[in-house]
Amino acid sequence: MAESAAVEYRIDRRSGVSTYLQIVQQTKQALRLGLLEPGDRLPTAREVVEATAINPNTVLKAYRELEREGLVEARRGLGTFVTRTLGGAAAADDAPLRAELADWTRRARAAGLEKDDVSALFTAVLDRTFEGDRAE
pTM above 0.75, yes or no: no
Per-residue pLDDT at 130: 82
pLDDT for 87-113, tens place per residue?
765 555 777 887 888 899 999 999 999
Per-residue pLDDT at 40: 95
pLDDT for 20-62, tens place per residue?
999 999 999 999 888 899 999 999 999 999 999 999 999 999 9
Residue 15's pLDDT band, with cuts at 50, 70 and 90, is: confident
User: How does 84-104 read in b/e, with b if 16+ C-beta sit within 10 Å?
Assistant: ebbeeeebeeeeeeeeeeeee
